[in-house]
A and B are shown apart, each in its own frame.
Chain A
Amino acid sequence: METLLYIALFAPLVSSMFSALFTTTPKKTFVGVIASLLIFTSFVSSSLLLALIVVNGSAPVHVEMMTWMATGDLYIPFGFIVDEVSVTMMMVVTLVSTIVHIYSIGYMDHDKGFNRFFAWLSAFVFSMMVLVMSDNYAGLFIGWEGVGLCSWGLIGFWFHKESATWAANEAFIMNRIADLGMLIGIFLVYWNTGTLQYEGAFEAFQTLDTATLTWIGIFLFIGAMGKSAQFPLHTWLADAMEGPTPVSALIHAATMVTAGVYLVIRSNELYSLIPNVGLFIASLGAFVALFAASMALVNRDMKRIIAYSTLSQLGYMFAAAGLGAYWVALFHLMAHAFFKALLFLGAGNVMHAMHDELDPFKMGGLKKVMKWTWIMMTIASLALAGIFPFAGFFSKDTILEAAFAEHHFVIYGVLLFTAGLTAFYSFRLVALIFHGEERYKIFGIHPHEAYRFMLVAMSPLLILAMIAGVLQEPFFHMIEEILSAHEYHIHSHTTLWIMLVGTQVFVALAILYAYKKYANAFIKVPDGTSAIENSFAYKLLYNQYYIPYFYEEYLVKPYKEISDMFWNKVDMKIVDASVDGIAGIIYGTGEKTRAMQSGNLSTMLKWMVVGLVVLLSLAVVFGLAARYSDSITVILSGLGVM
C-alpha cells in the first residue's frame, strides 16, 4: 500500500525530471509519451488506492516518509495520508492530468517548447499530489506554492508574448498576497495547537475559543480565496487564459483552482465549529457564482467565457462547503473537473482549427467540420448547465437542494438564477461556435478536426461528464466515513419535484433562448455600433465591472509611483549613496596617498621614521592614561562626561 502511495506521488516527479532533461533540445515526441505513461502509472496507483480505501472502509493509508523539521516542540514530517477525501482528489488530478498529457502531445505538436511543456506540466501534477496527499498544513503549503510556481511557468509558457508574462506575473503576485493570509493562518494553527498535523490540530480545535478559531478560519480562507480566484482576487484567472489551452483545462479549471475548495473541505472540522465564517464563505461563493456568470454573458473571448464559468462553479463549491455540505462540494468539484476539462479541451480543438482565433463571433457553423468536438462540447455544456442525466445535474442540483434545506433562501435564489445564466452563456458559446453561418470564411480560415488520438484521449472525460451522476450514491457512502455528511432531503416530495422540474425547465428555457438568439443566420461580428453594445450594462459587464481598470489605476499605478519614489529617493540617494560614499572614501584615500609610494628609498625611510614616532607617542599616551586612569575618571566625572 505504501508502495502504491509512493508510486502515485513520485511518478509525476520522475516524469518532470525526465522531461526536464530535454528542455533545451528540439521536440521529441517520446518525451510526451513517456511523461503520459508515468502520469498514467500514477493514475493506476491512485485507482488501486481508491479500491483499497473502498474495500477497507475507513482505514486511511498513512505514511511518514521522513522528518522535515524537528526543533524543540516543532515537529513537521513529510507525511502523506490517503483517505476518502484525498483519494478523491488524487483520482481527479491524475485522471485529468493523464488525459491532458496525452492531449498535449497533439496540441503542442508544432510548438518549440514541447519538451519544456511536459516538464512543467508533470511538475504541476507532482505539486498537486503533494498538496492533496500531505497530512499536515506545512506539506499542503509546499504543494500550494509548488502549484503556484508551475502555474506561473505555464501561464507564461509563451514568454515571448508580453501579455503572457504579464498574466503569469499577475497570477503569481495575486496568489502571493493570498498566501500571506494562508501563512498567517498556518502560524495561528501552530501557535494555538502546537502542531500542524491535521489529526492533532483538529483535535485541539475542539477546545479552542471561538474567536481564535474564527481568525484561523478567516486567514486560511484568504489563502483559499487567492488560489480559487474568489472575489476580490479573481482577476488573475481570466488573464491566466494566456497559457496553452491544456494548461487552462488542467490547472485553471480542473485541479489547481479547486485547491481552495479542497482546503476548506480538508479543514471541515474547523469550519463546522465556526458557522459564521461558513456562512460568509457560502455568501461569497454565491456572490462570485452570479458575478462571474454575469461577466461571461457578454465576453467575446472563448477561453475567458469558460474561465468565468469556472469561477462561477467555484463559487458554487464554496457555497456548498460554506453551508457545511462538504461532500456535495467535493462531488461538484469532481464532476466539474470532468466536464470543464472536456469543455476546455474542446475549446483547444476549436482554437487549433481556427488558428488561435478566440472570438466565437468569428466562427460559426463549425459543427460540419468538427463533428466530434461539437458533440463533446455540447455534452460538456449540458453537464455544466445541469441538465438531467448529465454530471452537473447531480452535483449542482444537490448544492441547490442543500441551500434550500438549510433555509438559506437568498443563497438558493442567487444560485438558481446563476444556473439559468450558466445555461445561457454556455450555449451562447456553443451556438456561436458550431451553429449558424460559417462566418470564419470571411477570414480565410480552413478549419479541420483535431487528431483522432486527441479525441480518443478526451473520450473518458466525455463518458464521465455523461455518467458521473451514477457515482453520487457510492461516493456519498464512501465519503460519509470521514466527512460529517448527511443527505439533503426536502421534507415534502411535492416541493422537491417542483424544485427539480422547475430548475430543469428554467435551465432548458435559457438554453433554448441562447440557441434562438445566437444560432441564426443574422449574427455578425460585432463592430461596436449596435445599441446593446453601447448600453451601460453591456459596457459594465464587458469591462468586467471595471475591476481590472480599478486595480490598474488605483493599486498598480500608485504602487509603481511609490516604488519609483523609493527607488529614486531612498535607494539611490540614501542606500546606494552611503555605500558608494564609503567606497569613494577608500578610493580617494588610495589616490591621495599613492604619491607616498614614490619608490624613493630615502622618502620611504622618512615615512618609516614618522610612523615609528607616531607609534611611540601613542604607546606613551596610552601608558600614561593607564597609569593615571583613576584620576582621569575623577576629572571626567567632575566634568559630567561619565
Chain B
Amino acid sequence: MEIGLNHYLVLSTILFAIGLVGVMKRKNLLLLFFATEILLNSVNIAFAAISHYYGDLTGQMFAFFVIAIAASEVAVGLGLLIVWYKRHGNIDLETMTSMRG
C-alpha cells in the first residue's frame, strides 16, 4: 500500500486532536507545553505533506517558520516556567489564578 497524501492528513488530524485534548486536560504546565508542541507539529506535517503533493515549496517554508517560532515560544515559556517554579514551588495550572476576573 502506497503512503499517500490522505495518510499524512489523517496522521496530522489525529495528532491535532491529541494535542487539543492535551491542551484541555493537562494540569501540569510542562505537559501543556508538550501538548502545544504536538498541535504545532501536527500542522507542520500537514504543511509539509501538502507542499510535497503540489510540488510547491511555500508550505515547507511555512513549516520552518512554525518550527522557529515554536522554538522561541518554548524558550520564553520555559524561562517563565522556571521563574514561576522558583517563586511558588510548583507548576500546577490550578494554582495560577491571578488573572481572575
Contacts and interface: CB of A to CB of B under 8 A. Distances in A.
B20 interface: yes
A212 B101 CA distance: 71
Interface of B: 20, 23-24, 26-27, 32, 93-94, 96-101
A609 B101 contact: no
B61 to A, nearest CB: 25
B99 to A, nearest CB: 4
B42 to A, nearest CB: 14
B20 A609 contact: yes
Contacts of B93: 600-602
Nearest to A597: B101
Given A600-B93, A600-B94, A605 B101 contact: no
A599 B99 contact: yes
Interface of A: 594, 596-602, 605-606, 609
26 contacts: A594-B101, A597-B99, A597-B100, A597-B101, A598-B100, A599-B96, A599-B97, A599-B98, A599-B99, A599-B100, A599-B101, A600-B93, A600-B94, A600-B96, A600-B97, A601-B93, A601-B96, A602-B24, A602-B26, A602-B27, A602-B93, A602-B94, A605-B24, A606-B24, A609-B23, A609-B24
A605 B96 CA distance: 13
Nearest to A612: B20
Nearest to A602: B93
Contacts of B97: 598-600
A595 to B, nearest CB: 9
A593 to B, nearest CB: 9
A597 to B, nearest CB: 3
Contacts of A602: 24, 26-27, 93-94
A620 to B, nearest CB: 15
B32 to A, nearest CB: 8
Contacts of B96: 599-601
A450 B95 CA distance: 89
A600 B99 CA distance: 8
Contacts of A605: 23-24
A594 B100 CA distance: 9
A81 to B, nearest CB: 71
A609 B100 CA distance: 19
Contacts of B99: 597, 599
A606 B25 CA distance: 8
Contacts of B100: 597-599
Contacts of A609: 20, 23-24
A597 B93 CA distance: 15
Contacts of B101: 594, 596-599
